[in-house]
Chain A
Amino acid sequence: MKFGVVIFPGSNCDYDTFFVLKEVLGQETTFLWHKDHNLENVNCVILPGGFSYGDYLRSGAIAKFSPLMQEVREFAAKGGLVLGICNGFQVLLELGLLPGAMLRNKNLKFLCEFVHLRVENAKTRFTHKARQRQILRIPIAHFDGNYFAPPELLRELEKNNQIVLRYVDEKGEATEEANVNGSVSNIAGLINKTGNVMGMMPHPERASEALLGSTDGRMIFKSLIERL
């Protein structure tokens, strides 16, 4: 399995994701530069967290026009695996590779903290190492993580089993209080219809080493590594 971690100007979780894949999980991993048109034959592209192009217009809005994203669009269309984490998720929404949009967090503040997530679909290529409804403890760090989808889209997402992760409390209940950023239907992670593109607001790379407080994030990477 060869991973490619994209560097946009303003990416800041690129090295973290690279470190976990390469040093912690021992995977072949390479950086991909936003100005290039070369995906270097990777099997999985990761769009990391950060503030691509400063996120000045709207999170992820400028990144969508970068040369490399045209390749990623094609790669995804051919069934290539793409994972967007945090800012990466926002970019996937802007690219139209995933449906819906992000709003500012409901309290209008940046939020950085550990949250609990429930695996709603453990049959995807990104989550098959988890048990259905398993509770994960993984941190978030974002200002625009309040996922929005209109009712008809939400119904479709439910019907197609595209909701992969939800914000829950310690006991696994999808409460209003646990839904820290105000996402519709507590959605924290989403997959496309064809099952090869996933976006998630929480940072699995920040929860991959016991020293840092949790290893629950490894499940995502391990699911990719041990292909379904």
Chain B
Amino acid sequence: MRKVRPEKKNMVDNKILADHNLTLEEYKRIIELIGREPNLTELGIFSLMWSEHCSYKSSKVHLKKLPTTGKNVIQGPGENAGIIDIGEGMVVVFKIESHNHPSYIEPFQGAATGVGGILRDIFTMGARPIALLNSLRFGPLQKAKNRAILDGVVSGISSYGNSIGIPTIGGEIYFHECYSNNPLVNVFALGLAEKNKIFYAKAEGVGNPVLYVGSKTGRDGIHGATMASAEFGKETEQKRPNVQVGDPFKEKLLLEACLEVMEKGLIIGIQDMGAAGMTCSTSEMAAKSGTGISINLDHVPQREEGMTPYEIMLSESQERMLMVAKKENMKEVQRIFAKWDLDAVNIGEVTKGGRLRVSFRGETAVDVPVDAIVNLCPAYRRPSRKPDYIRAVKQLDLPPFPADYNTIILQLLSSPTIADKEWAFRQYDHQVQINTVLLPGADAAVLRIKGKKKGLAMTLDGNSLYAYLDPRTGGTIAVAEACRNLACAGAKPIGVTNCLNFGNPEKPEVMWQFKEVIEGMAEACRNFSIPVTGGNVSFYNDTEGISIYPTAVLGVVGLLDDVRKAVSPGFKGAGDIIVLLGENKEELGGSEYLKTVFNLEKGLPPQIDLEVEKKVQETCLEAISQGLIRSAHDVSEGGLAVTAAECSFWSKPKIGCILDLDDNIRTDALIFGESQSRIVVSTTSSNLSALLRLAMEKSIKAKVVGKTQGRNMIIRHAGREIINLPVKSLYKPWKNAIPQAFSVR
């Protein structure tokens, strides 16, 4: 064997380690594992693969607490995406991933490449992507910089998703000061595949060719994964060159070409070159199959001259894949890629012995065991400590009752977190592929599956204020609410993916939040018997020492037995009866009401009884299946009053409602409180008794709270009229809040 290319002697000093985000202990471990000092390229490889982003070194001991099994789980965590069997020989492949750090540095490209990356995770498994959703969090729109980030992110998502032809069918947008210098961009994708045509990241069969397919390699994105594993400081602007540039057109060609070679069964394994580029794809494929890989960098298509092995191995240029083909099929694979005007270059082969060997201009640039890179990264059980603020925020002194509830409801509806998100949704092509049954903005997005009776529903959810005040409850509610959103559309949850966005895990307070949120999520997932099939952890969401609120974004996928029965949130006509499933409680802690009107982020978030929650959802699902209800909308941010208003906004033509409430609790808590496990449904008088009987059988509370009528929304409490406004006047501030924020200069 040739000697490993000698680079500068004793080249590793503290600065180099710091630049690579490696600790001295980690460096010593590398030396121990490979039996010598690594050269710079090897050091770069370890720094990427041992980065928090790729290795989950701070989170993996905790993630084990999440339930990941179930009879329909075909693939749990650990692959590019999770897979759930949906029957009739079909599976869904889905995953959520963050692209927070790049989106702050370069909003348009950061978000666009986030979309590109998550789509590759889906189609590398042999699934055609059919849906995109995203959860976005920004600082308040009063600041010009936040508006610019929102605009850039939405344009980036729109540009990539629309061009490649995958519908962006929903999601959520939240605003909070904590995201001002740390926006969150979490992108979810789902694909559909035949059960017997799933592909994995495998490098099997010694001697089989390793093919590089897709775009050429450039210097873009070098160190992207390491960048995403550190806090932001003042010099962050200089990291712009670390953000990759997306080319949705190339990815569309790559998608079609990959699916074609997979359909024809020409390849053995495939892995996308996303974060950590060629380093990750080569070493992971080999590690998963217990083989090795040898590649020659001279054959790698490059779009810049003079690239070093370090740069080629660490580049995060987009729209590239690594494939292992059966030897005899290589020519046919290359023919198909040529048809789509793409490169498919043989750059190496599968080897025995479990080593990653990289040669460059006749010399060995890298020779290390793949196991060391992929599996032997240290796992940390970092110290955790309950933060001091937790005790302080519990003390909530409720403000006096407002004098005029009409003003308050208008104020809430124009709060950007609650306001209409059409400004963003209309920039996304949400109908391409002609499957979209429920348009964005509903509780859940619903897709038909061509040629089948059943349908798919999906939603993203996560309230970070709840999780800030009480991380465990926040984690539980995130799962419960996402499932409730599905129930409102008529879908039963089948699988979960999650994106956990937190601050610096080296801070014990952040670690405590993380552990608590996971405990809460795990409990809720067990209760609903839904498996977590994967996800993503994004730590180091801190800027200049300030961490974001703990933000667990849950992506839940559901199944409808009959897609024609999908229910939307809007009222369907005058004279229907409005029924509340669940119970109003006196809970105001963590509410959008306290935050928006009184600038108070205190108290305990609403409490949740998972048994009750489950029964409320079952009742809603059963009622939809029996055709007993005409609309369903869950009560969340802004409480009952906002929920009722939204049901009116979604009706066509817009119809008003009257709610007559008699609960013996504070009026503001009654109409703006965010107590859990509540769904507002509407039904006809002929179906009312059957609906109430169903609720009784499930032993949940359900009562008539009003009816649909006229042009105003009227709310009475104990006979006293507290809100009476034309739906039109409520609609306007809700509709215009976000566009107006952009017209103010």
A residues apposed to B, CB below 8 Å = 9-10, 12-13, 15-16, 19-20, 23, 49-51, 53-56, 109-113, 139, 141, 143, 203, 205-206, 209, 211-213
Least CB separation from B247: chain A residue: A54
Q: A54-B247, A112-B428 are in contact. Are A212 and B434 (CB under 8 A)?
A: yes
Contact of B432 among A10, A16, A20, A213 (CB under 8 A): A16
Smallest CB separation, A82 vs chain B (Å): 22
- Docked CA distance A211–B453 (Å): 12
Q: A10-B249, A51-B249 are in contact. Are A16 and B427 (CB under 8 A)?
A: no
Contacts of A55 in B (CB 8 A): 163, 249
Contacts of B67 in A (CB 8 A): none
A141 pairs with B448, CB closer than 8 A: no
Smallest CB separation, B342 vs chain A (Å): 10
Q: A54-B163, A211-B563, A211-B564 are in contact. Are A20 and B434 (CB under 8 A)?
A: yes
Within 8 A of A (CB), among B231-264: 247-250, 252-253
B163 pairs with A13, CB closer than 8 A: no
- Docked CA distance A205–B427 (Å): 20
Least CB separation from A139: chain B residue: B431
Cβ of B437 within 8 Å of any chain A Cβ, yes or no, is yes
Query: Nearest 5 pairs between A and B by C-beta?
Result: A12-B165, A54-B249, A51-B163, A16-B434, A141-B429
Q: A110-B429, A141-B429, A211-B563 are in contact. Are A56 and B249 (CB under 8 A)?
A: yes
Contact of B253 among A9, A15, A16, A141 (CB under 8 A): A9
Cβ of B45 within 8 Å of any chain A Cβ, yes or no, is no
Contacts of B428 in A (CB 8 A): 110, 112
B163 pairs with A209, CB closer than 8 A: no
B437 pairs with A12, CB closer than 8 A: no
- Docked CA distance A122–B729 (Å): 39
- Docked CA distance A9–B342 (Å): 11
- Docked CA distance A111–B422 (Å): 10
- Docked CA distance A211–B427 (Å): 23
Contacts of A12 in B (CB 8 A): 163-165, 252, 432
A112 pairs with B448, CB closer than 8 A: no
Least CB separation from A56: chain B residue: B249
Query: Residue among A50, A54, A110 with the most chain B CB within 10 A?
Result: A110
- Docked CA distance A55–B431 (Å): 20
Q: A9-B253, A51-B163, A53-B249 are in contact. Are A15 and B158 (CB under 8 A)?
A: no
- Docked CA distance A15–B435 (Å): 12
B162 pairs with A110, CB closer than 8 A: yes
B429 pairs with A9, CB closer than 8 A: no
A and B contact pairs by CB, cutoff 8 A, 12 listed: A9-B340, A10-B249, A10-B253, A12-B164, A15-B433, A51-B163, A51-B165, A54-B249, A110-B162, A112-B425, A112-B426, A211-B448
Give me 12 other A-B pairs in contact (C-beta within 8 A), A9-B252, A206-B434, A213-B439 excluded.
Answer: A9-B341, A12-B432, A16-B434, A20-B434, A23-B450, A49-B432, A109-B155, A109-B427, A112-B427, A112-B431, A212-B431, A212-B437
Cβ of B430 within 8 Å of any chain A Cβ, yes or no, is yes
- Docked CA distance A141–B161 (Å): 12
Smallest CB separation, B209 vs chain A (Å): 25
How many A-B residue contacts, CB cutoff 8 Å? 86
- Docked CA distance A111–B433 (Å): 17
Contacts of A109 in B (CB 8 A): 155, 158, 426-427
- Docked CA distance A112–B440 (Å): 11
Cβ of B146 within 8 Å of any chain A Cβ, yes or no, is no
Contacts of B186 in A (CB 8 A): none
Cβ of B436 within 8 Å of any chain A Cβ, yes or no, is yes
Contact of A9 among B249, B426, B433 (CB under 8 A): B249
Q: A50-B165, A111-B426 are in contact. Are A206 and B252 (CB under 8 A)?
A: no
- Docked CA distance A16–B431 (Å): 10
Tally of chain B residues near chain A (CB < 8 A)? 34
Contacts of B432 in A (CB 8 A): 12-13, 16, 49, 141
Q: Mark B673-713, 1 if CB is under 8 A from A, else 0.
A: 00000000000000000000000000000000000000000
Contacts of B435 in A (CB 8 A): 212
- Docked CA distance A15–B451 (Å): 14
Contact of A141 among B159, B162, B252, B439 (CB under 8 A): B162
Least CB separation from A180: chain B residue: B426
- Docked CA distance A149–B434 (Å): 32
A16 pairs with B433, CB closer than 8 A: yes
Q: Mark B556-587, 1 if CB is under 8 A from A, else 0.
A: 00000001100000000000000000000000
Contacts of A112 in B (CB 8 A): 162, 425-431
B162 pairs with A212, CB closer than 8 A: no
Smallest CB separation, B724 vs chain A (Å): 27
Least CB separation from B437: chain A residue: A211
Q: A10-B252, A13-B165, A211-B564 are in contact. Are A141 and B431 (CB under 8 A)?
A: yes
B249 pairs with A110, CB closer than 8 A: no
A209 pairs with B434, CB closer than 8 A: yes
B431 pairs with A203, CB closer than 8 A: yes
- Docked CA distance A49–B690 (Å): 47
Smallest CB separation, B170 vs chain A (Å): 13
- Docked CA distance A12–B429 (Å): 11
- Docked CA distance A56–B249 (Å): 9
- Docked CA distance A56–B158 (Å): 15
- Docked CA distance A126–B562 (Å): 35
Smallest CB separation, B214 vs chain A (Å): 14
Smallest CB separation, A179 vs chain B (Å): 15
Contacts of A51 in B (CB 8 A): 162-163, 165, 248-249, 252
Contacts of B425 in A (CB 8 A): 112
- Docked CA distance A10–B248 (Å): 9
- Docked CA distance A110–B431 (Å): 13
- Docked CA distance A16–B252 (Å): 16
Smallest CB separation, B143 vs chain A (Å): 21
- Docked CA distance A23–B228 (Å): 47
- Docked CA distance A141–B165 (Å): 11
Smallest CB separation, A201 vs chain B (Å): 13
B427 pairs with A111, CB closer than 8 A: yes
- Docked CA distance A205–B428 (Å): 18
Contacts of B165 in A (CB 8 A): 12-13, 50-51
Least CB separation from B425: chain A residue: A112
A205 pairs with B249, CB closer than 8 A: no
Q: A51-B163, A54-B248, A141-B162 are in contact. Are A206 and B431 (CB under 8 A)?
A: yes
- Docked CA distance A143–B161 (Å): 13
Q: Mark B37-73, 1 if CB is under 8 A from A, else 0.
A: 0000000000000000000000000000000000000
B434 pairs with A19, CB closer than 8 A: yes
Smallest CB separation, B734 vs chain A (Å): 17
Least CB separation from A51: chain B residue: B163
Smallest CB separation, A18 vs chain B (Å): 11
Within 8 A of A (CB), among B420-468: 425-437, 439, 448, 450-451
Q: Mark B142-164, 1 if CB is under 8 A from A, else 0.
A: 00000000000001001100111
Least CB separation from A209: chain B residue: B434
Smallest CB separation, A162 vs chain B (Å): 28
- Docked CA distance A143–B248 (Å): 15
A110 pairs with B434, CB closer than 8 A: no
Contacts of A19 in B (CB 8 A): 434, 450
- Docked CA distance A122–B673 (Å): 55
Smallest CB separation, A38 vs chain B (Å): 16
